[in-house]
Amino acid sequence: MKYRKREEVNYWMSYADLMSAMLMIFALLLTLVILDYRELLEAKEKQIEEVVSVKTEIIEALTDAFEESNLEIEIDQQTGAIRFPGSILYESNSADLSPKGEKFLRDFVPKYFGILLQDQFKDDISSIIIEGHTDKKGDYMYNMQLSQSRALSVLEYVYSDEMGDFKQRELAQSIVTGNGRSFSQPLKDSKGKYDPDRSRRVEFLFRLKDDEAIKEIEKLVDK
């Protein structure tokens, strides 16, 4: 009697087949992750472009508004900060506004707020900062107190009766602040050397609502 040899069937995948299947799954998942990240990155890049576009438009508007004025100001084309020498507003080592400084603010402030807080830009502005800066004479805390007092004196005058009413006065109250920076941000002259005259200054700056978010996005993109 002949016996039929039993054929064994291997129901298990070989190790090589298993690894191939796992690699295919991993590649598929990786592709999906890359696609999702690319879409996220493109969305964030678009957000950055929109914020940069708004800031550029504001800087151009400020430049156009003040380039033909007789006001002694300097506009930073990268940040939009407007600087003017402290000597325009104050006597040396003083935080009391001079008559010349008061007139300067009456000419400057309504026009500045009028540009930033017009309908085109006001929803993008998160804050307006008045900053006082000093040169390096004296110690840090003396200059911190002086710079803060100067920033505060400008802010007080902006909302004084002497300034008079201007269209954006009430709206600006919710976003304008004053800060002193002592001599922590000195400026240089055209030759790259420390310039005490330029460093003694007051600055008007603005921040956009998306500025902080953009900084975090840029950190991620640069990694």
Phi-psi region of 182 (alpha: psi -120 to 50; beta: other; left: phi over 0): left
Question: Do residues 198 and 189 make contact, with C-beta atoms less than 8 angstroms apart?
Answer: yes
What pTM, to 2 d.p., does this model score?
A: 0.73
Q: What is the pLDDT of residue 93?
A: 87
Q: How far is CA 37 from the centre of its chain?
A: 26
Give the C-alpha separation, 203 to 81, whole Å.
6
Helix, coil or strand: residue 138: coil
Phi, psi of 195 (to 5 degrees): -120, 105
Question: Do residues 95 and 150 make contact, with C-beta atoms less than 8 angstroms apart?
Answer: yes
* Grouped pLDDT means (10 residues each) for the chain, 223 residues: 51 59 75 66 61 85 89 90 92 91 94 94 94 94 96 95 91 93 94 93 91 58 53
For the chain, domains (ranges, CATH) are 43-219 (3.30.1330.60)
